[in-house]
Amino acid sequence: MAKLDFSPIADTTRRAEIVALLRRAILTGQLEPGQKLNELRISEQMRVSRAPLREAMRELVQEGILTSIPYAGTFVIEVTAKDIIDAYSLNQVLDEFAIERTWPLRDQRFFDELDRRHEAVKQATRAVDTTRQIETALQLHGLIYEWADNSVLLETWQRLTSRLQMYFALHQRARNEPVPAVDVHETYVALLKGADMRAAQRHAREHIDLDFEELLAYARGLEKRASKN
Amino acid sequence: MAKLDFSPIADTTRRAEIVALLRRAILTGQLEPGQKLNELRISEQMRVSRAPLREAMRELVQEGILTSIPYAGTFVIEVTAKDIIDAYSLNQVLDEFAIERTWPLRDQRFFDELDRRHEAVKQATRAVDTTRQIETALQLHGLIYEWADNSVLLETWQRLTSRLQMYFALHQRARNEPVPAVDVHETYVALLKGADMRAAQRHAREHIDLDFEELLAYARGLEKRASKN
DNA sequence: TCTTGTTAGATTGTCGACAATCTGCTTGTC
DNA sequence: GACAAGCAGATTGTCGACAATCTAACAAGA
């Protein structure tokens, strides 16, 4: 029998589709931080009943991008400068760990996948599709987590990614100028292919720093705006 | 006006209570790994309808201690040796990070709380209440996470804790001999009060190692038993 | 004017029933 | 006997309606 690994068939529940829809709306910034999710309104828009919608919302609450107050409502999480700093500093630690674990497991398939994802980022950059640019950049970055062969680490990263994606998307929406079209991932990819693990770990920090500085500036702006209310 | 900080009132939804009940049943091992949760049966036992039960189950799925297959059912997660290794190795990294962040924030309140939790462990140990012993030990261990002033880190730790608690509980149930009544946390607490951060970080690793070795042996046993089926 | 009590409307939480899907058994055919 | 088709029962997914709770506006009293 031919060795064929089929991918698992799609979740065919409404719930799963609702989760995907809502997540996308939140992570792209269509639903703004602090915004309330009205169950009746959304369920009517999606043409589903409230039951699967509510179950989907529970999932996203646990995923950390929604927050729920009993009898009051479910809201998109607020974004504070501290949240971003916290997420970022944890990300640094996890990156180091992921690189360490992935390092001895790198093989041709890893390098190929690395190139593939790098290419996807470049393509999104050329197309000036900022949402997709963020998505692909995070996917490129996530490869070391997928390769690290640690399911708990991967889960943690995926949760963290949700937030990071949201932060970056908000940042992008806030500033209306187009994103610089330079490729900031070139060195990162090269180092992951190289022989110096420490150098790769060091760069992972500094590399993110670039985007992070801007992100922080954005968050500080939010803080100020919030304190005025 | 007197400065009184009221604690937020308890969640009074059935859902929240169901979550707590189910979580406890899973983390104490009353619900065994792999076991299926029949919605109708459980909802009748709890005298609630399936709606809040299902929402509660979604939360626990996202929390990582249940797993759901559409139209097939929701099950308690299986425990493999690899899962335990993965959780443990991530825990090591997070511990180091948490200690680093907590270190400059230690104050009298921290030391008091440390003692309080240490006392709770000793009390549970004397009372030979193994479930409570695990709970209190993890709470003692969790203090550095609560003090690290990083909400994302704390969330991550809480998710990890669920799993660790489950693993330890299973381990305890498997072996019927009573737990040794020695206090393995004495040195840990002393080091957290001391001046040598590196030493504390080092010990955090070795300290857990003790319990971990046993845990791993237990998990390896599970593996063997599973492979025979 | 400020505070407190009341009430109507809107929204969330929960329920019971129905629809969709799966599983295992039975039946029929070769 | 082996195998596929089809059926019955059980279980999960979804729906619409009702109950519990919150919010905001308004009225009454100090």
In chain B, what residues touch A153 (CB-CB under 8 Å)? 86, 90
Q: What is the mean pLDDT of residues B78-86?
A: 90
pLDDT at A180: 62
Amino acid (one-letter) located at A188: Y
Enumerate the residues of chain B whose CB falls inside 8 A of the CB of residue A11.
Answer: 70
d(CA A62, CA B56): 11
Q: Is the pLDDT of residue A209 over 70?
A: no
Which chain A residues have a beta carbon less than 8 Å from that of B12? 70
* pLDDT range class, residue A5, cuts 50, 70, 90: low
Within 7 Å: CB of B38 and strand D? yes
Q: Which nucleotide is nearest to A50 (CA to C1')?
A: D15
Question: Which phi and psi (to 5°) does residue A152 adopt?
Answer: -70, -40
Q: At a CB cut-off of 8 Å and minimum separation 6, what does B201 contact?
A: B95, B96, B99, B100
Q: What is the DSSP string of B190-214?
A: HHHHSS-HHHHHHHHHHHHHHHHHH
Which regions of B45-145 does DSSP assign to beta strands (E)?
A: 66-69, 73-76
| Higher local confidence (pLDDT), B148 or A187 | B148
Provide the strand spans (E) within chain B. Answer: 36-37, 66-69, 73-76
Rounded Cα gap, residues B1 and B3, in angstroms:
6
Is residue B133 within 8 A of residue B121, CB to CB? The reply is yes
**Predicted pLDDT at A177:** 64
Q: How far is the CA of A116 from the C1' of D2 (A)?
A: 49
Q: What confidence score (pLDDT) does residue A3 get?
A: 46
- Which secondary structure element, helix H or strand E, spans residue A37, and what is its range? strand A36-37
Q: Which amino acid is at B60?
A: L
A126: CB within 7 A of chain C nucleic strand: no
Q: Is the dihedral of CA B76, B80, B82, B86 positive or negative?
A: positive
pLDDT in tens, A11-24: 689 999 999 999 99
Query: What pLDDT shows up at residue B226?
Result: 56
Q: What is the pLDDT of residue A10?
A: 62
For Cα atoms B62, A10, A131, give the angle at the middle one, nearest 5 degrees. 75
pLDDT at residue number B211:
67
Domain A81-227 classification at class level: mainly alpha
Class at the top of the CATH hierarchy for domain B14-76: mainly alpha
Mean pLDDT, rounded, for A69-87: 93
**CB within 8 Å of A43: residues ≥ 6 apart:** A49, A50, A53
Q: Which residues of B touch A58 (CB under 8 A)?
A: 55, 58-59, 62
Contact B156 A153 (CB under 8 A): no
Q: State residue A156's pLDDT score.
A: 96
Weakest mean pLDDT among A127-131, B143-147, B177-181: B177-181
Summarize the confidence of residues A21-40 as an average pLDDT: 94
pLDDT of residue A18: 96
Report chain D positions within 7 A of protein CB atoms.
11-17, 20-23
* Mean pLDDT, all residues of chain B: 88
Cα atoms found within 13 Å of the Cα of residue A154, Cβ hemisphere only: 13
Residue of B nearest to A159 (CA): B156
Mean pLDDT rounded to a whole number for chain A: 88
Which residue would you say has higher pLDDT here, B204 or B177? B204
For chain B residues 13-32, those near strand C by a CB cutoff of 7 A are 13-15
Sequence-separated (6 or more) residues with CB below 8 Å from residue B130 = B172, B178, B179
Mean pLDDT of all residues in B104-125:
95
- For the segment A187-209, the average pLDDT, to the nearest whole number, is 88
Residues 165-204/A with CB within 7 Å of nucleic chain D are: none
Can you give the residue ranges of every domain in chain A? 14-76, 81-227
Nucleotide nearest to B57 (CA to C1'): D12
Q: Which among A86, A97, A156 is the nearest to B151, CB-wise?
A: A86
Q: By C-alpha distance, which of B90, B84, B65 is closest to B221?
A: B84
Report the C-alpha gap between A81 and A143 in whole angstroms: 27
A210-219: pLDDT as tens digits: 567 777 777 7
Task: Measure the CA–CA gap between B51 and A40, rounded to whole angstroms.
Answer: 16
Output phi, psi for B169, to 5 deg: -65, -45
Residue B228, pLDDT above cutoff 50: no
* Run of H or E including A36: strand A36-37
The pLDDT assigned to A7 comes to 62
Assess whether A38 (CB) lies less than 7 A from strand D: no
Partner-chain contact B59 A58, CB within 8 Å: yes
Which one is predicted more confidently, B131 or A58?
A58
Minimal CA separation from A157 to chain B, in Å: 10
Q: Does A229 have pLDDT greater than 50? A: no
Do A14-76 and A81-227 fold alike per CATH?
no
Which value, in Å, is the radius of gyration of the alpha carbons in chain A? Answer: 19
